[in-house]
Chain A
C-alpha cells in the first residue's frame, strides 16, 4: 500500500490539516494565557497534543453529521467551522460568544454546524447521540451521529446503555474515544478492568478498531472508513484514538501523576511537527510555507483575543432569558 501523503489526499487538503492543527494549538495555548490573566475563568481543559484527532476525524465526516463532544472541545468546534473569535468570546463570557457568553468553555453549541454540544458531565452525551441518530433515521436523513468521549467515560453507565441501545436499534452512531490515558489523575489501567477500550464493544457486537491518535492521516482514514461503514450499514462503530494531552486535565491541574519522562516521550510524538516533517520530506511544503501558516494562525488567534476583549458583556437582564421558550416561539427555527 502506498503510504505517501500524496497518494492519500491532495496537497491542499494536507496543508489544511497542518493549518488547522496549528490553529488549534495556538488557540489553546492562548487560552492558557488568557486564563492566567483572569480573562477566562472557571475550569479550562485544553486540547494541546490531541489535535490530530479533531482535525483528522472532522475531515473524515460529512458536514451534516451530528457531532457531540465532551468538555475538551474548543478545537472540535473550531475545526468544524466555528469562528475562533466567537469561540474565544464565549470563553470570556461575552455577549458576542457562540452561546452569547452563557455556555462557556465546556458547553459550546452550534446548530448551524450540526455541532450538538460539549458535555461537561462525563458520558452524558452517549444517549443523546443515540437519540440524534434515531431522529436522523426516523427522518430518513443520511446523517450519522458522532460521539466523542474520553477514556474516563467508559466506566459510566451511559456508555454501556448507549452502546447497547445503538446496536439494538441499529442506529448510525460513530463512537470516537480519545484515549489520552488519564481521567484527570487516574490512569486508565487503574480505572478500567479492560484498558483496551476498543475491545469493550464485544459485549454489544459493535465493530471497533484502535488508531494512532497522534497521526492525523491515520485518524482521517479510520474515521472516513468508519463513517462510511456506519452510514452504509446503519449500525454503530467505535474507534479508539490513542493520544495524549500535553497539559494537565485542566489549568488547575499540575499533573503530578505523570512522570516528566513520560510527558517528554509523548511530546516527541507531537502530531504537528511530525506531520510537518512528512510534508517537507515529501516536498509538499517548505519550512517557509509552514512558518507562514503558523504566523497566520497566531494572527487569527490574536484577533480572536482582541475581539473577545473588546466585546460587550451580556446585559444583566439576560440572566433570566432562555430558560423556557417564549410563548409562541417556533422550536428549532434553523431546522430545515
Chain B
C-alpha cells in the first residue's frame, strides 16, 4: 500500500524522470523509500554571522539520528531551521519529499527544558494533553478520546501517578519524561528533541532512550540534538556531526571515529588528544 502512495506524488517531485523507472521501483517494492528529511545547501545566519554553512544531508525514515557537535556548533539552530522557526538564507528543506508546511502537524518537537516556564499554572496531564492540540481543529477542545490518549502516553513514560501535579513540582528527569509523553500524544511521524538528556537522572534517560528506540522500530524518524559524546554511539543509528559546517554524516560506525570527531572538536578543545585515547 505504501509503495502506491509514494508513486502518486513522485511524478510531481521528479517530473523529468521517465515513468518507466517508477515501474521498476514499484516492482522492487521495499527497496525504494522517500527520505524523511532532505536538506540541500542550507545556510543560516544571525545578523550576518554564519550559524550554519552549506549543510546538506538526508535521513531515511525509521532512523534514530543524533545531531552532535561542540557548543555553538549550530545544533539547535539546525533543528529550528528544519522546522522553519528561524529563517534560512539559502537552501532547500524537504520533509517526506514535501514542503514542511504540509507535514508540520506530524512533527513533534520537544524544546530545551530551559525554555519552559515551570511556574505556569498547568498540571502534568494537561501538559501531555497539549500534544493532541495539533491534530484538533480550531475551536475544538480535547474530549474523552484525547484524554485517554494523554493518559496512555503518561503511563508509557512511567509518570501516571503524577498526573495531577503542577509541572514545576517534578524533578528535571520527570519533567523531561512528561514532555516525551506530550510528543507521543501528538502521534507524529517525525520527532525532534533538543538536548533531552541535559540535567536529568539516569533512569529517566533510560526510559526516554527506550521510547525513542521503540519509535524508531515502528518506523518513525527521530532527530536528537545531543552534546555529550560519551553515549552517542550507543544511542543513535546515524550521526550528523556539526561545527557550523557539516563535518560528517552517516552511520555511527562511519562517523564516530576519532579522526572525524577531532575535526569538529579540536578547535575548541586543545586537550582533545587525551580524549581521543579513550575513544
Q: Do A and B bind each other?
A: no
